Amino acid sequence: MNPTSETNGSTVVDSRLYSVRYVVQNPSESINTVKISPDGKTMATCSSNGVIRVYELASGTLKQELRGHAKGVSDVDFSPINSDILVSGSDDLTVRLWSISRGKCLKVLRKHTYHVTTVKFISRGSILLSGSADETITVWDLTSGKTLRTLSAHSDPILSVALTPDDTIIVSGSYDGLMRLFDLETGYCLKTLVYNSASQGTATASTSDVVNFPISYVNLSPNGKYILSSSLDGAIRLWDYMDNKVIKTYLGVGDEPNISTKFTCETCFITCTKTPLIASGSESSGLLFWDVQTKKIVCQLKLSEGAVLGVTSYDDGKVVVCSDSNGTVTVLDINDVE
Amino acid sequence: MNLSLLDPFAVAKEYPESLTQSLAYGHSLVIQFSHKGDYLALGLADGSIVIYDLVCNGGIITHLYRNGHLRPITSLSWSRCGRYLLSTSQDWTIKLWDLSMVNQGDDIDPVIRTVTFDGPVWSAVLHPKNPFLFVASLFEDSAAVVDMTDDIKISRLSAHPKGQEDSKDKHLTLTSVFTPDEEGSYIFAGTSKGWINIFDLSTLNKVHSVKVANANIKNVVISPNGRKLAVNASDRIIRQINLSDFINTAPEEWEFEVEHKYQDVVNRLQWNTVAFNHNGDFLCASTFGQLSQDLYVWETSLGSLIKILEGSSEELVDLKWNYPRCIIGSTGLDSGTIYLWLVPFPQKWSALAPDFVEIEENIEYEEKEDEFDIIDDDLLNKKRLQEEDLQVDVLLKELVDARGFTIQEAFVIPVDYRRKYGA
C-alpha cells in the first residue's frame, strides 16, 4: 500500500506530493467512482454490485448504505446545492435520487432503455443530465420530474457528460469517438470534436478508413475554456474547443504509455499547487499527476494492483480521493505546497 | 459560454423578435426578472408568488403562498444579489422574502419583514445595494421610504413640488424609483399632477421638481445606465428625457429636456407600461385597450418605431426586459398568461459533422498545393508536439459574456427534492 518511487526515463517521479490519510476496502467489488459532497463532509462510492456507500470524509466511517439498484451502479453525483442529495445511474436502466440522511430513495427516474453510464447535476441543482448506453443523454427537470429534452446525436454508448461552469454547454463523450457540445437551453448541437491522427489533431473528416477511439471521460478546465478528454487509445488530451484543436497530449509513464484502453478512468484538475496539475486514474500505473503546461508526470502513486477508476478532488486538490477495480478507496492529503 | 459558439448575428441582436413561449400558471398580474436574468417571479391575482427557473426553460422552483398576501400582488422587486424579493399587494402590506429559506419545509417562514400601511400599495422598489431599504408608492397616501434593517423606520415623501409645499392642490405620488447608480443616490417620484420630484436619499430632502406633463404620471423608468428617463403619462404620450450626470452635478443644475415624445397619433392609444433595454438604446411599451395587443419597440436616439412585437391574443399590461438573456416578458390582461419574446438561435447542422460547412452559395473549390501530400508520421508527430508547446491557462475565467454583460455569481434558490411531482 505504500507509495513507491519510480523513475520515468530521466525524470524522477515524485511520489511525495500526496500522503495517504486512510484506505477503505471492500474487496471483490469494483468501485466505479467516488465523489465528495460540496460541503466536504462526506464521500460517496458506487460499485458494480449495485450498492452506494456514503462515508464520512474525515474518518472514513461508513455513514449510510443506499440499496435499491438491481444492478451495478456506474456513476453518482452530489447535488451542488444540497450535500444530502445524491443521484445515481445504474445498469438497471434507472436513475435514482437519494436522501443520504434518511437513507431513502426519493425518486426513480425511468426513461433510458439501456445501462445508465453517467449522471451529472447542473450547478444550480435543479436540472440533471444522464447519459446512457442507449446512445442518448436525457435532461431532467427535478422541479417537475419531467424530461426536458433527449439528446440523441451519438451513434454509440455515451460514457461521460460534463458541463461548463456556467451551465450552458453540455459536453458528451461517446464510444463512437466523438465529443459533442450541446447548448443546454435549446438542445442544439453546437460543435463536434473528433481526434484524428491523420489530420494534425484537428477536427476533420471521419470517413470509414479512420478509426476513432472511444472517448471514455470528459472534463472541463476550471475556467471552462478547455476540455480534457480521455480516450481509449490510451491518451488524455486537452482541447481548445473554440479552436477545434488539441493543445496538449498527456501519456502514461515510460514503458506503459497507454493510460487506459479498457476502463473509464476519471480525471480531475488540481489547482492548489504552484502550477496546475491534472490527475487521472490508469489501468496499471496507479494514480498519475501531470503538469498541465509541461505535460510531464510529476507524481505517480501506485497504491494497489487494480485499475484506478474514480478520481475526485476537494478544495482545489488539497484532498484527493481515488477508487479502484479491487474495491479500494484511498483518501490522500496534499503535502506542504512549496 | 454557449453564446460564443452560437451564430454571432443572433447574439448581437439587441432586442427580441419572436414570441416563443407562454407561461400559464394562475392569473399573473405582474412579473419581474432577477438581475442575473435566471429567474422570473410572477405576482398572481390570488396574492401568491411563483418563481420560474429560466435556465433550460425549467419549471417552477417555488410557489410562495404561506404567510403571503391575501389580495392581488401589485409589484415585485428583486435584490441585486437575487436572494431577496420584495412584494407589494392590495392587502395593504409589503413583504420581504428571503429566498434562501424557501423549499426547506413548512416550519421555516421565508417572510422576514412585513410592513403594513393604511391602504393598498401601488408599487415598491428595492434599493440597488441595500435589500432592506425600499421606496413605496401608496394609494391615496404619500410615498414612503422604508428602512427595515433592524426595526421598520418609515419616512414620508411629500408629493408637492419643491417650493409649493403650502399649496392647497392635492398631489399624490403614483410611482417612484431609485436612480440606478451603485448607491441609489436619488429617488424620482412621479405625481398625479404631472410633476417629477427628486429626493436625495441620504437626507430625504426634495432637491428638484420638474413638471413634465399635464396628466397623471403612470410610470417613471430610468435606463439601467442612468442616461435616459422615460415618463409614461395618462395623456397618451411617453416622454423620453436625457438625464444630466446626476453623480457629478448639483441637483439645481439638472435639465430635463424632452428628447422624444412617443405617441400613437392614429389610434390615440394609452400606454400601460414602458421599459428600457440595458443601455437605453431601445424602449418598449405595452398598449392600453382591447384594440391593440402588441408591444412597440422604439430606437431611442432617433425616436423611430422599429418593431411591433405581436403574437399575444389579448391586451398586454406589465412589461419587463431581461437584459442578460435578451427576453421581453409581458402579462396578458384577460388570461393572466405570461408571454416571452426572445432571440431565436438557428440550428447549425454542420455542427454535427465537423467536416461539413454550411455555405450560402456554391463556391469553386481550389485544392491547396499540399492537400493530398503524404507526410511522414514522424514529421507529423514532431509538428504536433511543437504546436503543443504553447502556454495554456486553465484557471483564468472570462469576466464578460459574449453580449458584454459581467458574469456574476448569483444566488441559487434551494430546490425541493422531496416534492411529489404532479402535486
Domain-located, residue A255: yes
CA distances from A129 to A75, A126, A309, B405, B419 (A): 12, 10, 21, 27, 19
Q: Which residue of B has its CA nearest to A170?
A: B2
Instruction: Kindly report the pTM of this predicted structure.
Output: 0.88
Chosen for mutation from A111, A126, A238 (greatest number of chain B CBs closer than 10 Å) is: A126
Q: Which helix (H) or strand (E) holds A149?
A: strand A146-151
ipTM of the complex: 0.86
Task: For residue B135, give every residue at least 6 positions away whose Cβ sits within 8 Å of its Cβ, in sequence order, or none.
Answer: B124, B125, B127, B143, B144, B145, B146, B157, B176, B177, B178, B187, B189
Domain-located, residue A14: no
Total length of chain B = 423
Domain-located, residue A300: no
Domain-located, residue A27: no
Number of domains in chain A: 1
Sort out which chain B residues have CB atoms less than 8 A from A146's CB and list them: 59, 421
CA distance B4 to chain A (A): 8
Domain-located, residue A95: yes
CB-nearest to B4 from A149, A188, A242 is A242
Please check whether residue B390 touches A, CB under 8 A: yes
Sort out which chain B residues have CB atoms less than 8 A from A99's CB and list them: 417-418
CB-nearest to A181 from B5, B58, B397 is B5
What is the domain extent for residue A180? 32-269
Whether B351 sits inside 8 A of A191 (CB atoms) is yes
CA dihedral B34, B129, A82, A61 (to 10 degrees): 160
Task: For residue B182, give every residue at least 6 positions away whose Cβ sits within 8 Å of its Cβ, in sequence order, or none.
Answer: B128, B129
Whether B383 sits inside 8 A of A125 (CB atoms) is no
Sort out which chain A residues have CB atoms less than 8 A from B353's CB and list them: 192, 206
Q: Which residue of A has its CA nearest to B413?
A: A124
Question: Could you read off the pLDDT tens digit of each residue along chain B, which spans 423 residues?
Answer: 778 888 778 888 889 988 988 888 889 999 999 999 999 999 999 999 999 998 877 788 999 998 899 999 999 999 999 999 999 999 999 999 999 999 888 888 999 999 999 999 999 999 999 999 999 999 988 899 999 998 889 999 888 888 887 777 888 888 999 988 888 889 999 999 999 999 999 999 999 899 998 999 998 999 998 889 999 999 999 999 998 887 788 888 888 888 899 988 888 888 999 999 988 899 999 988 877 788 999 999 998 999 999 888 888 999 999 998 899 999 999 899 999 999 888 888 888 887 777 888 888 888 888 877 777 778 877 877 777 888 888 888 888 887 878 887 888 999 888 877 654
Provide the CATH number for the domain around residue A245: 2.130.10.10
Sort out which chain B residues have CB atoms less than 8 A from A189's CB and list them: 348, 351-352
Domain-located, residue A83: yes
Evaluate whether B295 touches B340 at the Cβ level (below 8 Å).
Answer: no
Task: For residue B385, give every residue at least 6 positions away whose Cβ sits within 8 Å of its Cβ, in sequence order, or none.
Answer: none
Domain-located, residue A306: no
Domain-located, residue A231: yes
Q: Coil, strand, or helix at residue B147? A: strand
Whether B56 sits inside 8 A of A181 (CB atoms) is no
Q: CA–CA separation, A179 vs A230, rounded Å?
A: 11
Which residues on neighbouring strands pair with residue A42, listed in sequence order? Answer: A56
